Amino acid sequence: RLSISAGDWIYVGDSDTDMKTARAAGFFAVGAAWGFRPVQELVAAGAQRIFRQPEEILELLSTRSCFQENRAE
């Protein structure tokens, strides 16, 4: 068993189902703008951050201060 709370996990996805799943699990929901669905759909489904490039995941992983909601496009 891992000793990590749900709020310390991130879930990166590109669909409304991914965002809903992440939020239902208590994970930090990150929408991938380069993926399958439009950004507006990801935000409406609960994305707490939107990333335009995969490299932005590294910033999120390097500092917990990034675990803040930022829905700006």
* pLDDT tens per residue across span 3-26: 888 888 999 999 999 999 999 999
Percentage of the chain with pLDDT > 90? 62
Least confident range of 13-22, 33-42, 44-53, 58-67: 58-67
Q: Are 31 and 49 in contact (CB under 8 A)?
A: yes
